[in-house]
Chain A
């Protein structure tokens, strides 16, 4: 029985670890439970852009990410969905219409010359903006732990307003746009042939190249910058060397060099390409749930789940006696382990996810039922108690394996082919099924075998009421 004692210790250690995980790592709640907006954006083709390539989608994604950051929502998420869609998740949003307006437009890339006499101002304004952005990042960091309170929300709104003001002030330091992104044909990050500092090469069409030459001539050697704006936000302001004061940067191409590393150069190039793509985005799906509505559904689903679980526990104890009570114990451990696994793996719990969890409890019971029914049969056929329990586990194993694998196949199909909420359900059900195999085959078994080592539990009627012949142990 030394092995049983060891296993028992391991199981309880796991259960305690699970409780610690549940307490330490917060459960990630889906937008349908915590409230927020989930938008699907369709990137549309136009006469100019006939096909959405992966690069183009990536570029549009960057534009959308920039806009989402502008909304100042903590824990926002932008994902590519298929070949021409983007999924945007905005938790805790309080103005869905504003979000839709901001996210749904076509990107605006503009090249603007800095106004004379603003050289000092831009440094100051930039410092102010950077300060705000740092504060925002810090605030979002703290908010990502748990649900934000109303103070934090209003602080966030104030910061956003300040950032918007700063950005507008910076934009004011530049002339009206003389060149837009439509003239830009390509933007590429690269290393110059001789050198180790990254740069971004840009290329204009013919007419754009001429305008770009005019634009750069007007600021060459002045120390004033060329403002590159994406959605009215300054993304780069390179200066133009004095050698171009005569002709401007002619030839339709230019190189933006500066303090770039590989990542920041790629970043700028992708932003430029995204702004240069004149593709409209359309919001084809919007699912918004208010925060209190989400809270209500968590509550009712939790009550339902706990209620269902309690009924199952009672049934097991009444019908299966001692093994039933031990199975109940392993079911509770099952629930703890599964919950901890969700938190550890960062599973986002949605409403269907909770349903998947509750269903997996039914699944976890099934394995125990199979084993106990088998044990009873063996007892009735006259085997000893210990042998019956062993045989119950041994004989039921193939049924448990087969039935769980078929459920996992359905989960797999749901996970690979489904989207959003559906995937959440498949994942939680699959995790539940996997853990239920462990708790049924290991926890229930260890508890049973351990209880058999205690004389007061070594009574067949505790396992199978109404057993005709009394088998010997």
Chain B
């Protein structure tokens, strides 16, 4: 198999552009409907999430699934009608309630009224997540800051190891991956009500770290090829480099995605969407390294008259338009 990445670069760019555009549209719709581009979870919006499981060692406690109508009534009595409810687990014995941020007393009262209505809960399997609005904003701000700092760190490192234009296109590829992942989650938020939490920020940062790997490996090969064949046109060098590293790109994406698939399918509830975000990001990262970062680099070098390394050395004037052979 030989990919002709340069020749069809407009096609690759269009695909990427459309995917990003779709994501941006999803974010815009989400902005209109809920006021944020992605549906913020407890970590960012603040609130209280209670997860309670009935104690099935108590006789007759678990004979029926949890009745949401009963739960709604209890919540209404406490003035918490706007809370979201979910019954989870195969036996429908676990209740998850998401409310506004509750004080300790209010929360324990809610817990005991639920216990009265539904039967005894198992204290060993309780889960409480309560996050104040200020903390949520802090988590979000520190996450965004981490993202910006790692972008800056990667630009500096790549500029030192390669050249500045390599670094710029690597960062464009990173934005591509982050935007696509965020876009998919914006859509999931609209369709399935999937929320993003601090693990989502972690996922984005990991995507940044991993997908730049793919780009670096291809760049590394491009740099090597330029050194070995300085009189060859950049388009051909990039094409060859991508193809020479293609098996590696595919295999690595496969080996990192396999464990993630395992987590997505068999891991706990907490890590499910984390794994999904990583899978989307890694696949998009592999794509952007092969089809976006490298083709853009070639395009840029061509436009700035550096299509040939030897010629560029002799005539280092930027902005000279190269007469394409």
Instruction: Please report A residues at the B interface, Cβ cutoff 8 Å.
Output: 32, 35, 37, 40, 42, 94, 96-97, 100-101, 104, 282-293, 296-297, 300-301, 303-305, 307-309, 311-312, 315-316, 319, 351-352, 355, 358-359, 361-363, 365-366, 369-370, 373, 377, 395, 398-399, 402-414, 416-419, 421-422, 425-426, 429
Contact A288 B104 (CB under 8 A): no
> In the bound complex, what is the Cα–Cα distance between A96 and B111 (angstroms)?
12
Please judge, given known A-B contacts A42-B134, A312-B259, whether A97 and B245 are in contact too, CB under 8 Å.
Answer: no
Contact A362 B132 (CB under 8 A): no
A-B residue pairs in contact (CB < 8 Å), sample of 18? A96-B126, A287-B128, A296-B125, A301-B267, A303-B266, A304-B262, A304-B267, A308-B258, A308-B261, A355-B271, A363-B210, A370-B252, A406-B212, A407-B213, A409-B209, A412-B150, A413-B146, A429-B206
Binding-face segment, B4-12, B17-25, B195-203, B291-299: B195-203
Question: Distance (Å) between the CB of B300 and the closest chain A CB?
Answer: 20
Contact A284 B131 (CB under 8 A): yes
Chain A, Cβ-Cβ closest to B126: A290
Contact B270 A406 (CB under 8 A): no
Chain A, Cβ-Cβ closest to B256: A362
Binding-face segment, B31-39, B78-86, B135-143, B186-194: B135-143
Contact B262 A311 (CB under 8 A): yes
Please judge, given known A-B contacts A286-B129, A402-B220, A406-B216, whether A362 and B146 are in contact too, CB under 8 Å.
Answer: no
Binding-face segment, B67-75, B153-161, B317-325: B153-161
> In the bound complex, what is the Cα–Cα distance between A96 and B104 (angstroms)?
9
Contact B259 A366 (CB under 8 A): no
Chain B, Cβ-Cβ closest to A300: B268
> In the bound complex, what is the Cα–Cα distance between A167 and B149 (angstroms)?
51
B145 at the binding interface (Cβ < 8 Å)? yes
B246-281: which residues lie under 8 A (CB-CB) from chain A?
Answer: 247-248, 251-252, 254-263, 265-271, 274-275, 278
Contact of B202 among A35, A304, A418 (CB under 8 A): A418
Q: Could you tell me the dominant secondary structure of chain A's interface residues?
A: helix
Instruction: Please report B residues at the A interface, Cβ cutoff 8 Å.
Output: 51, 53, 104, 107-108, 122-132, 134-135, 139, 142-143, 145-147, 149-150, 153-154, 157-158, 161, 198-199, 201-202, 205-206, 208-210, 212-214, 216-217, 220-221, 224, 244-245, 247-248, 251-252, 254-263, 265-271, 274-275, 278
> In the bound complex, what is the Cα–Cα distance between A285 and B146 (angstroms)?
21
Question: Distance (Å) between the CB of A29 and the closest chain B CB?
Answer: 14
Question: Distance (Å) between the CB of B242 and the closest chain A CB?
Answer: 13
Contact A369 B128 (CB under 8 A): no
12 further A-B pairs in the complex, CB-CB below 8 A; given A97-B108, A290-B125, A410-B153: A296-B125, A355-B267, A358-B259, A363-B256, A402-B220, A403-B214, A407-B212, A409-B153, A411-B209, A414-B205, A417-B142, A418-B202
Contact A422 B212 (CB under 8 A): no
Question: Distance (Å) between the CB of A311 and the closest chain B CB?
Answer: 5
> In the bound complex, what is the Cα–Cα distance between A39 and B62 (angstroms)?
32
Point out the residues of chain A lying under 8 angstroms from B134, CB to CB.
Answer: 42, 284
Contact B270 A366 (CB under 8 A): no
Question: Distance (Å) between the CB of A87 and the closest chain B CB?
Answer: 11
Contact of A286 among B122, B130, B157, B260 (CB under 8 A): B130
Chain A, Cβ-Cβ closest to B255: A365
Point out the residues of chain A lying under 8 angstroms from B216, CB to CB.
Answer: 399, 402-403, 406
Point out the residues of chain B lying under 8 angstroms from A282, CB to CB.
Answer: 132
Point out the residues of chain B lying under 8 angstroms from A32, CB to CB.
Answer: 270
Contact B270 A297 (CB under 8 A): yes
Point out the residues of chain A lying under 8 angstroms from B122, CB to CB.
Answer: 290, 292
Contact B263 A369 (CB under 8 A): no
Contact A369 B270 (CB under 8 A): no
> In the bound complex, what is the Cα–Cα distance between A37 and B128 (angstroms)?
9
Question: Distance (Å) between the CB of A310 and the closest chain B CB?
Answer: 9
> In the bound complex, what is the Cα–Cα distance between A167 and B255 (angstroms)?
60
> In the bound complex, what is the Cα–Cα distance between A368 and B217 (angstroms)?
13
